[in-house]
Amino acid sequence: MITPLMCVALAIYFEARGEPDAGQIAVAHVIRNRIEDPRYPDNACDVVKQGYYWNGNPIRNMCQFSFYCDGKPEDPHDERAWRDAVYIVHLSGLIPDITGGATHYHSTKVFPEWAYTGQVTANIHKHVFYTGVR
């Protein structure tokens, strides 16, 4: 069985492993913020796996966290980056939220339609963070 710690670590690993620590911590804070927000599931694994499904399988590119439904296996191959992601999960619980309460983020390489509906709370390395997204 996969634990909440593992779900958050997978999100950090696949969404932000190339980021400095602050970017990885920010991803963990977004997951924590969603857990606290009544619009989202109340546990880490359900937050990370949230999206659209067909016959019990996630629809490709239709998930809140893109790595979960990109069609690639969720098997961390970089042992050091995986250990760092697990450490970041723990560290993120000790550090005040650096995203300003963000529930959404995206890479600076894209601009999703939903971004028009939110307020930018932080720019951390190659990601933009938002609150108030509808």
Q: What's the confidence (pLDDT) of residue 71?
A: 84
Q: Give the mean pLDDT of the chain.
A: 93
Q: What is the pTM of this model?
A: 0.92
Tens of pLDDT along 10-54? 999 999 998 999 999 999 999 999 999 999 999 999 999 999 999
**How many separate domains does the chain show?**
1
Asked whether residue 82 is domain-assigned, the answer is yes
Q: Per the domain annotation, does 11 fall within a domain?
A: yes
115 in any annotated domain: no
How far is Cα 62 from Cα 26, in angstroms, rounded to an integer? 22
* Contact between residue 124 and residue 24 where contact means Cβ atoms under 8 Å apart: no
Domain around 12? 4-97
Look at residue 1 and tell me whether its pLDDT is greater than 80. Answer: no
Position 61 scores a pLDDT of 85
CA 36/CA 2 separation, integer angstroms: 21
73 pLDDT higher than 90: no
CB contact set of 39 (below 8 Å; sequence gap of 6+): 103
Q: What is the CATH number of the domain that holds 62?
A: 1.10.10
The 8-class DSSP code of residue 132 comes to S
Q: Is it the case that residue 80 has pLDDT exceeding 80?
A: yes
Task: Name beta bridge partners: 107.
Answer: 127
